Structure formats: structure tokens, C-alpha cells
Structure 1
């Protein structure tokens, strides 16, 4: 009986990890179906992002597919930056770690798209700047 009680927390932990893995797999599969229509797309635990023609679309990943989708025309972008802990990263070659946000400055508002890896946010900034012919 004592051995059973000792193994019970491990069983619960294993079931929890299995569910979390299945949940993430479902999100990834729904993202793959969504991303098929885009020229370039990215999946992140915090956000999905895709470029199709002159549209930039982003939202939050879920098992049913991306939710809270927003779209902007790339022509509306005034400036693109990367923000980490409320500070703008200025050097494109800067070595950073941790999470960051892609900062999109439009004519009438600012948009933050979260990334779990700052290096990926810097790569997207570089990609969008090249696509729009903006300076980094």
C-alpha cells in the first residue's frame, strides 16, 4: 500500500505531461493547416504570425486553430522594432536571450507580437524590413 502511495504522484505527473504534450501537438497541427495559405509563417507558444501578399496576420494559437486574429496591411507600417523588457533593441546583431516582442508602429497605433525567443523576433524584424525596403 505504501509503495502505491509513493508512485501515485509520479503517475499524476506523467498523465499531466502526456496531456500537455497532446495539447501542444493539437495546436501545432491546427497551425500547420492555417499556415499553408501563407508565404511565410511562424509558430510560437505565445503567437502565430503569417505574411500573405501585403497582409501581415497574427493571433494566438489554440487547438481549434489560431484565435484573436488581427490583420494589417504591410504598407501601413511606419517602423519595425524589437522590444525586450520595455526597452527597444537597437543593434540588429545584438546577442540577446529570453522573450521579446516584435513592435510594429503603424500610423495610428502600436502593435506588440510576442515571441518566446528574442533572436526569432530579430529575424522577423530583419525579414519585414527587407520586404518593405526599410532600414534596420
Structure 2
């Protein structure tokens, strides 16, 4: 009986990992369907982001769909900022902190709002920052 009790935590951990994997699989399957309508898109555990024409749409992925979905056009954006651990960077900077905990792109809207899109990878975030900055510059001129 003692051996059975010793295996119980392992069994619970196994079912917890299986449930977590199933949830993540459901999120990715929903994302695949959602991303088909976008020219450019990204999936992250924090946020999904898609660009179609002059529109940006993002939200938080869940296994039942997106929540907190927001959409803006490039005409609504006044400025774009790249934030790593509460410091702003120019994406052309060569050195970023390797152990960054919070990476995000902030959109400063003309209405004064500042929505933030979270990332886990600095390279993907800087690529999106460059892309969005170039698109914003071309839509202004």
C-alpha cells in the first residue's frame, strides 16, 4: 500500500501534464483557423497578433477562442514603442538583455490609449516592431 501511495503524486502529475498539453493543443488549433485570414500573424502564450491590410488584431489565446480581442488601423496609431523589462529600446539596438522577463510592443494611439502586446521572444518582438514601424512610416507619408 505504501508503494501505491508513493506512485499517487506521479499519477497526478501525469494527468496534470496531459490536461495542460490538451489545453495548449486546443489553443493552437483555434489559432490556426483564426490566422488563415491574416497576411502576417504570430502565436505566443501571451498573445496572438495578426495583420491584414491596414488592420492589426490581437487578443489572448484560450482553448475556447480569443478573449480581450482588439483591432486598430494604422491610421489610429500615433507611435510604436518597444519595451523590455520597463525600459524602452530602439529595435535597431544590437544588445538586448538575454534574461528579459517582460517583452512587449506598445501602440500609442491617437486617442491616448496605449495597448500593449506581450511577447516571449525578443527576436520575434523586434521583427514585429521593425515591421510595424515601417508600415506606420509608410502610412503616414
Give the Å deviation of 1:88: 0.5
Gaps of 5+ in 2: none
Pairing of 1:37-48 with structure 2 (within 5 A): 37-48=37-48
Superposition misfits of 4+ residues, deviation over 3 angstroms: none
Q: What is the TM-score with the length of structure 1 in the denominator?
A: 0.91
Q: Which residue of 2 aligns with 1:57?
A: 57
Q: Which residue of 1 aligns with 2:126?
A: 122
- Distance of 1:106 and 1:60 partners within structure 2: 20
Q: Which residue of 2 aligns with 1:74?
A: 74
Q: Is the 8 A contact 1:96 1:119 kept in 2?
A: no
Label 1:78 to 1:122 Cα distance change in 2 as closer, same or farther (>3 A).
Answer: same
- Distance of 1:107 and 1:84 partners within structure 2: 23
Give the Å deviation of 1:77: 1.7
- Distance of 1:91 and 1:48 partners within structure 2: 20
- Range 118-127 or range 86-95, more displaced: 86-95
Deviations 1:100-129 (A, max 9, x none): 011111112211111122322111101112
Q: Is the 8 A contact 2:45 2:61 kept in 1?
A: yes
